[in-house]
Amino acid sequence: MRFILALVWAGSALAAALEPGSLPSKFGPSGPNCVAVPDWQVHAYNEDFYILRESGCTNYEKPFLYLIFGNDFALLEDTGAGKADAAPQVLALLEKWAKLKKRSTIPLIVIHSHGHGDHTSGDKQFQALPNVKFIPATLAAISELGQELDLGGRVLDILPIPGHNNASIALYDRKTGILLTGDSLYPGRLYVPIADYPDFAASAAKLAAFVKTHPIAHVLGAHIEQAATPYVDYPTGTVYQSEEHALALTRAHVLELNEACQSMGATPKTTALPDFTIVIRPARPTRQP
Ligand SMILES: [Zn+2]
Ligand SMILES: [Zn+2]
């Protein structure tokens, strides 16, 4: 009993050390009238952690981007979908942050949750900027980074989680306890090519092991496709999601994803859960000679 109490105490002490922040109960929907909605919504989780959401009116994928500040570097995860103009948005935020902190500027590192086009469309804009260290969304570049990224007084853990894409990573911010999971876990359709399913299941197990040993404040992914109603998702291409699911998932969803993968064993099939769906994509038919 004493041992259990000590464990509980240690867990809450860890959680208490996390830097707090706030999430909106929901992001504003893209519509119904696209003329009246901003191209980007920006939410400050706290003064050193920002969430950017691209409008569905610009691209139906409406991805989330994350901007995190350390003492020496700012880090941007992902650059947007379609004709996204993420760079001016991010530069304006860097400038405002520097002003708040009474500094002249801060260098930026650009990284990606994975290599799909709806997360890399703004890459060229950032590559053209001075004071930017650009890390391409490739397996080689990710491996070169190692397991940690130190932004100066703020360390992020880098967890390779191949499956949805071979360059998929999760990022864990030790300061806030936020786990960024990209397209590998979010309230929506988690697409997995059947040939890559063993990798996806291994990555789900890796994430489950990670959340068992680290305090997790929120699990934040790169899209919302789920409706607030359990088991209901919006069809692909939906611009205006009037009653969408909240962005944040929890440690419990990471465990649920792993359990779903475990129970599928070697026979993966598309599986709907209350807050997300694992979508197994069949192998492309090979052409007959
Ligand atoms: Zn993707
Ligand atoms: Zn995506």
What CATH number should be reported for the domain holding residue 155? 3.60.15.10
State the distance from the centre of ligand 1 to the C-alpha of 192, rounded, in angstroms.
Answer: 9
Q: Is residue 92 part of a domain?
A: yes
Tell me the C-alpha distance between 248 and 250, whole Å: 7
Range of the domain at 165: 30-281
Are 97 and 137 a contacting pair, CB within 8 Å?
Answer: no
pLDDT in tens, the chain (289 residues): 455 544 554 555 555 699 999 999 889 889 999 999 999 999 999 999 999 999 999 999 999 999 999 999 999 999 999 998 999 999 999 999 999 999 999 999 999 999 999 999 999 999 999 999 999 999 999 999 999 999 999 999 999 999 999 999 999 999 999 999 999 999 999 999 999 999 999 999 999 999 999 999 999 999 999 999 999 999 999 999 999 999 999 999 999 999 999 999 999 999 999 999 999 999 876 665 5
State the distance from the centre of ligand 1 to the C-alpha of 205, rounded, in angstroms.
Answer: 19
Q: Is residue 18 part of a domain?
A: no
Helix H, strand E, coil C: the string for 151-177 is: CCCCEEEEEECCCCCCCCEEEEECCCC
pTM exceeding the 0.85 threshold for the entire prediction: yes
Q: Is residue 289 part of a domain?
A: no
State the distance from the centre of ligand 1 to the C-alpha of 183, rounded, in angstroms.
Answer: 5
State the distance from the centre of ligand 2 to the C-alpha of 119, rounded, in angstroms.
Answer: 6
Are 129 and 86 a contacting pair, CB within 8 Å?
Answer: no
Q: Is residue 192 part of a domain?
A: yes
Q: Is residue 11 part of a domain?
A: no
Q: Is residue 21 part of a domain?
A: no
CA 128 to chain centre: 24
What's the domain count of the chain? 1
State the distance from the centre of ligand 1 to the C-alpha of 118, rounded, in angstroms.
Answer: 7
Q: Is residue 9 part of a domain?
A: no
Tell me the C-alpha distance between 94 and 74, whole Å: 8
State the distance from the centre of ligand 2 to the C-alpha of 100, rounded, in angstroms.
Answer: 32
Tell me the C-alpha distance between 196 and 203, whole Å: 11
Q: Which ligand has its closest atom nearest to the C-alpha of 115?
A: 1
Exposed, middle or buried: residue 215 (CB in 10 Å: 0-12, 13-18, 19+)? middle
Order of strands across the sheet that contains 271-272 = 189-193, 277-281, 271-272
Q: Is residue 114 part of a domain?
A: yes
